[in-house]
Structure formats: structure tokens, C-alpha cells
Amino acid sequence: MMKKLLSCILTLALVLCGTGVMAEGFTAGTYTGTAQGFGGEIAATVTLSDSEITEISITGDGETAGIGSEAIKSLPGKMLEAQSPNVEAMSGATVTSAAIVEAVTAALKEAGVDAAALTPKAPETGDRTEETIEADVVIVGAGGAGMSAAITAANAGKTVVVVEKAAIAGGNTTRATGGMNAAETSVQKAAGVEDSVELFVEDTMKGGKEINDKALVTTLAENSAAAIDWLDSIGAPLPDLTMLGGSSAKRAHRPEGGAAVGSYLVPILLKNCENSDKITILYETPATQIVMKDGAAAGIKASSAAVDYTINAGAVVLASGGFAASEEMYTKYQPSLKGFVTTNAPGMTGDGIVMAEEVGAATVDMEQIQIHPTVEQSTSALITEGLRGDGAILVNAEGKRFIDELETRDVVSAAELEQTGGYAFLLFDQDLRDRVSAVNSYVNKGLTVQGDTVEELAAAMGVDAAALKETVDGWNAAIEAGKDEAFGRTSLEYPVVTAPFYAVKVAPGVHHTMGGVKIDPETQVIDVNGNVIPGLYAAGEVTGGVHGANRLGGNAVADVIVFGRIAGENAAAYASK
């Protein structure tokens, strides 16, 4: 018995002392640790007194603006409050969050502290409170559509409250990569690109298998050029052009240098919201109910960790996104998608659609769920379609092309799934990397393999070198001849000739839900009887009808900006009645 007691005492002593967490406190000092983040190295500097963690400083310049950068800002404070690195990851920035935890843990290890033994202190919480807020317009969701609506309504003189379930703004818009489609723009005219609203409509209807609501598509196309000008006016010009799958012209507008469009736009939209004295954003405050009064939308219910809100408003705008982050919901409509990775932000779980249905809203095209062909499977990172528009090719496990790379997403995805292993490699050269800055993040994240020759690249990819060399030579010959005899690709501008050469292994992932709440071209929500629900508007991926059976690359950003602005304008006008 005594021997067993001594053993227990020894074990307790090891727990208290062997981990470096001495009963009397820490070893005071400043310690450092590093980890690999989403876009490069994350560095942590942790300062200890003899009894507590006194300071945590995080750096990570390569993390995505508006996503990882927000985790860098907020997690150190939460860790200090908890006196532990073991805090909940920031929704939407899980990779960066995990890297911050790892870096702080490494710094503590340098101090002789076992971070796993630091049980987080529970935050001090009082009783839940109730709060009522009055606003002209309330918006559910601080993504691209929600922020565009908020800025527009505020510019019309209205007070706006935005509720966002995540800890950061952006939603799926932050993850958009390729560009924003628009026709007859000043950017296209300056570049000598011939395009038209009619061709934009035709391409979108064709891509959507002609089941799109043509009135919505026409509204999208007709207002797209003005939306580009509006973004320019708020400090977000999109001066670069590329062609994305399914388009007949270079109409995808993107930031200078070919950077990812979403992570560029979101911080600028957010800055405009934060600079307005008429806009308030409540984070980590999911909406739970649309409040109806005399048959019209009159506000919402929402709840944060400590407060239950009733937000009374003259008009309500739903901009809460789709449901492609909810496997339960998307497999309800498409069971075959079970087990696919998703490119979506974690908050995209269809909450707004459910709330709208509860007040009688109709839905449309709910079974239309898009998979994207170029998703890096280990990270769920979306590899921009702009790479294919700028000359990248797709090859299979045998090192051979198998499709016109600029076919629509559904066609390319289906072709990939038919290849050996159900995957492909996206292959490009240094010249493309120099032209499209988004590539740098893929390289920095370790998503690519490379070689100084095509044969060396083949070895890194694990494919037959002779076959890959033949494929690349054949592609370059097609460009020189001006005709792709193999697959009929018409965009033949950029050969693959400049070393080093790169490849990313990709496969399809769930990307976009084309279905959602039914709206009219004024973004008014339509009920199950075909009537407008007064005071209720919706924009972005929460809606259905715009994209039909398949969304074209570049149309999502156009959707959120164009219809977000329309929703903001019309909600402001309705609130004035």
C-alpha cells in the first residue's frame, strides 16, 4: 500500500515538475517558437513572469489578409485570457489558428512548459442579457454581398446593423480566387477586348444548362460594368483581365498582377464599413429568426455568447451564404457528394435559407451543387481557375492531357473523376508564376512540386517522364500552330517553356450551391405562393436562380457585388416608406 502511495506521489511530482510547470510558477523570460502557417512561417514570441503568461506576440506576413491576419490579431488575446494556447480556432482561419497554437506551444516548450498541461481558464461570464437595437436596415452576413449591401444602404443615409456568425468578415468571398466577371467595362475597352452584355448572358445561360432565371442573369450582366466602377470608387480597382472556363471573352476582372480577388476585396469592403458611422457589425452573433410583423419582415433575432438580440429594422437583407460547408445538407440533395472535401468557409451551413423557409420563402434549384475541378485535397485549398485561363494545362497520372482545360467546371470535374485515381495535375511554368501572383501562395504553402526540366518535374510528380515531355511539347506545338487538334481549346496564348516548371495535384471538391432562396431582379424574396415577402431581400449564394445547374468561374463575385448593391439600395428605399 505504502509503495503504491509513493508511486502516486512520484507521478504527481512529475506532472507538476517534469513538465516545467513548477508549483511555484514559470521561469520568467521571453521565448520564441515557429510553425508553418497557411502562407508561410508563423512566429510566436511569448513572455512569462514567474506566475503567468504576460505577453504573446505573433507575426506571419504571408497569411491571407482578412482571414489569417485576423487570427493573428485576435488569438493572442484569447490565449492570454485563457493562460493557455489551447483555445478554439477562429472559424474561417483554421490553418492559421493551428499554426499559431503550434508556434506558441513551441515557445512554451523552450521555456520548459508543457502546453498540454495548461488547462484553459474559463472566461468570466455573467448572466445572459437581452438587448434591443433599432436600425433602418439589418443584414445577415458580412460577406461580399452583405458588406456591399451595407455600404450602399449607408450611403443612402440609412443606419445599418450587420450580424455575422463568424469572428471575421468575408465568408466565402474571401476564398474567391479567379476574378469577377463583367461585360462592356472600361477595363475591357482599354485592353481592346470585345465583349457584350448579350454574350455574358448567353455564356451564363449555356453554362447553367439553360435552367437559370434569365431575368436574374440579365440583371447580373447589365449591372456588372457599373459594379466594377463602384469597386474602383471605394478603393478596389480590378484592372487585370483573364478568361475563365465557359466564357467567350476575357471578362474576369482581378487585382493588378493577378492576385486572388476575394482576399483583396474583403479587407477593402470591410474598411469601408468600418469607416462609416452608420454601419455596425456584430461578430460571433448568428441570426436565429426573421421577425415578421403584419406580413412583412421587421427585423431579426440573433444571439452572441452573452447577449440575445432583437434587432428591429425597416428592412431585412439575407446575405448569409450557401450550404456547401454542411455535408449533412448538401448530401440531402446530392448523396453522391458524401466524403468530398469542401472549399467553403465553415459558416456556410444554410442558416439563412432555413430562416427564410420558416417565414414562407420559396427555394429554387436546391439540388444544383457544384464541384470545382482544381482543389488541393490535403488542405481543401482552391487553386484558381485563372491559372488555366493563363496557360496552365491539366494532365493525368499517365502524364497526358485529357480535356479542354477551359470547359465548364462540371465537365472538367467529371473528366478528372474518370482518370486513374480520380485526380489530375495542374501544370505550368515560371512565366505564368511571374504573371499571376496568386501562384506564390501555392508555392509558399508547399502545394506545388517543381523541376528545372520537364523530366525533373515528372519525377517529382511521379509520372512517366517521356509521356509528360511529349504532352508539354504537343501543347507548345499547338500554340505555335494556333490550333489544339487534341481537345479544341481556343485560348492558345502561353506556351509552357520557362523553367522551373510546377505542378499541383488536384481533384474535385464541393464548391458552390447554386440553389437557395427565390428572389426577383429587385432582390425581393418570393414566397411559396409566388408573392413578394415585403421588407425581405436576399443576395449572394443564399439565393438560387442566377447560376442554374452550373456556375461559371467569375460569376460568384459578380453575383455578390451586383445583387448586394441592389439589395442595399432597395432595402434602404423600403425602409424609408
Query: Which residues are catalytic, by number?
Result: 409
Torsion angle (degrees, nearest 10) of CA 260, 446, 509, 248:
40
42 near 59, Cβ under 8 Å? yes
Q: Taking Cα atoms as reference points, which of 343, 494, 484, 511 lies closest to residue 427?
A: 494
Break the chain down into helix, strand, coil percent, rounded to 5: 35, 25, 40
Cβ atoms 324, 371 nearer than 8 A: no
Residue found under cell 455600404:
151
Pairing relationship of beta strands 516-518 and 532-538 according to DSSP bridges: unpaired
Q: Classify 492 as helix, strand or coil.
A: coil
Q: Which residues pair with 381 in a beta bridge?
A: 376
Beta strands in 70-145 (DSSP E): 129-140
Let me know: does 137 contact 58? Beta carbons within 8 Å: no
DSSP assignment string, 160-174: EEEE-SSSSSBGGGG
CB-facing half-sphere around the CA of 40: CA atoms within 13 A: 11
Beta pairing class for 524-526 and 532-538 = antiparallel
Q: Which amino acid, 138?
A: V
Q: What are phi and psi of 430, to 5 degrees?
A: -65, -30
Nearest-CA neighbor of 80 among 49, 125, 111, 35?
49
In the chain, how long is the greatest CA-to-CA distance? 90
CA–CA dist 248, 158 (Å, integer): 40
Sheet holding 53-59, edge to edge: 29-36, 41-48, 53-59
CA–CA separation, 491 and 478 (whole Å): 11
Q: Which residue has the cell 423557409?
A: 357
Handedness of CA 572, 162, 518, 231 (dihedral sign): positive
Amino acid, res. 258: G
The residue count of the chain comes to: 577
Run of H or E residues at 45: strand 41-48
d(CA 273, CA 171): 15
Is the torsion defined by CA of 274, 277, 281, 282 positive or negative?
positive
Take residue 333 and report the three cell numbers written for it: 440533395
Tell me which residue of 367, 298, 359 sits closest to 531, measured CA to CA: 359
Cis peptide leading into 500, omega within 30 of 0? yes
CA–CA separation, 187 vs 205, rounded Å? Answer: 24
CA 544 to chain centre: 19
| CA distances, 557 to each of 95, 163, 238, 560, 564 (Å) | 24, 21, 12, 5, 10
